[in-house]
Structure 1
Amino acid sequence: MPTSRNGSGQLPPAAVSATGLRKSYGDKTVLDGIDLHIPTGSVFALLGPNGAGKTTVVKILSTLITADGGQARVAGHDLTADPQAVRAAIGVTGQFSAVDGLITGEENMLLMADLHHLPRGEGRRTAADLLERFDLTDAAKKPAATYSGGMKRRLDIAMTLVGDPRIIFLDEPTTGLDPRSRHTMWQIIRKLVTGGTTVLLTTQYLEEADQLADRIAVLNNGRLAAEGSAEELKRLVPGGHVRLDFTDPAAYHHAATALREATRNDEALTLQLPHDGSQRGLRSLLDRLDAAGVEADELTVHTPDLDDVFFALTGDTVPSPNQPTEAAR
């Protein structure tokens, strides 16, 4: 699915763009020609099962490994020709925390400030501001090993922001967090984007992609299976329907006569009709029931969600134990 274009027919300015990215390890092809266009100031989610190639994309774009083929530009800089400029423009939070548990949260922040060659006074101000911003001031003097999982993740992202990056790569940032910590992380990501930061997010959580991403790319077996907004992806999958439930057998049979295209369940007294869930379509259905003098006891609408998209595009039917998925309702 093509990326949306602006009124002049041109693609919006890209913070990250890639064409034909390829990567293999021996005879194992991890990426098989990936194209990306991530607009500035947006959240772009790479969604896919374990082994799909998500982390490899992040490692290539953050200059941690080199691609075997293809081209990419990050923050306007060619990945191969000017990797140092790319590194200066980005921040990376990996699947595993970079926090040093033997030192305090504040010391972790000051260490990052030193690595970015910030003057001592500026480094302390930056550290203090970020610790406050991420609600870590009270814990700043405590060893990071004493932090909860959510606190360590917040500190990890705060450390990533010390260099004021324009683009942030978040590789499965909420894996292992409890629901409250996950929602806190979502709020942090939204605030970053509101401030103009571009975020490339990899995730296995369907709800996370649905909640945060302006655009989603579904990666499977090293290829992009589909790309678009959450709503665009949901429209790729058939299966939307309306179900009508009845308790009165006579009303059920009258409705079945009026709605001959419906799939009947005479035992459960339910009718199911293909439906896109639109307001106009629902109004038309209700008008037909009114004309037949029939009223259903319950009407439910099902439209495809990211679960349906994910399973249809990846061929998965049951997530693996270490691949948690949450329904995007």
Structure 2
Amino acid sequence: MEGLAHLQMRIQEVQDAMGKVIMGKSKAVELLLVALLSGGHVLIEDMPGTGKTTLAKALARCLDCSFQRIQFTPDLLPADVTGYNYFDQKEETFRFREGPVMSNIVLADEINRAIPRTQSSLLECMGEGQVTLDGITRMLPRPFMVIATQNPIEQEGTFPLPEAQLDRFLFCLPIGYPTLDEEKIMLDAYSRNEPINTLKPILIPTEVESCKKLCTEVKVELSLKYYLLNISCATRAHQAIAVGASPRASLGLLFASRALAAVRGRDYVIPDDIKYLAKTVLAHRLVLKPRERMRGVTGTNIVQEILETVSVPVLREGDFYA
């Protein structure tokens, strides 16, 4: 428990620091850190100018991590992401030039503007933490996290992410517009200087890896595992859904629930952790039937309906075990 208390304190320091840059978005900051501690990746879907890029840059600065931003465009090639081999005439040998993906935090800006071939170059990186080129596999730095962004309303000149790509994102989350008071605070803060330039490293990459390991020690009672699985299985049987949540989604929900419990200072998961994360983890993975999409039904609506129908286990003191 001492280790988890230290983790909570250090993560709270990161949240407080990022909160000075991203005003009024504590939930988005918390979920981003939960994804990091779960070893997952995040797709941020929101309007331009809401702070998506700033959020990623602030995280990298607080963690003293290497950061690269990739602007996805239709002419971007896979080699522009992963790197490529070139012939060094002076040394008369082939050398590898690293792509921007060889960083701790990678911002894939407007990811849906790239062609599917380029989008797919991230599949191995996100799924296995490595890059294979010309038969040689290179491991990516640890921690490794992709934060992708896309505009939900602008469809001209875009290539929708395929289901296989979406399934590799642990979370799909919005940031949303600030309230009037929050935007006033933002105007005052940014009129004096650039708050992100004042951020100092709080954690280092090795500490992040230690925190991730601590999250695996959070206890999940057996009935909670079945509760989580019942939610995932309900998406596969729902009449409005053509393709339900994958086993990867169930694992992601488990890992994220443990990380959330740790961030909130507990060494055990409670039902509310799973309910809080379910829509963020599952909704973007669901493929709705065409008729339901035409009616305006969304994955979030379906997951909310399922949460209201799946029975929640009642836990007693002493029920928790690893």
Bin the TM-score by the shorter chain. 0.3 to 0.5
Per residue, is there more strand in 1 or in 2?
A: 1
Structure number with greater CO (CA < 8 Å, separation at least 6) is 2
Instruction: Please report the TM-score for the alignment, with normalisation by the length of structure 1.
Output: 0.32
Instruction: Please report the TM-score for the alignment, with normalisation by the length of structure 2.
Output: 0.33
Per residue, is there more helix in 1 or in 2?
A: 2
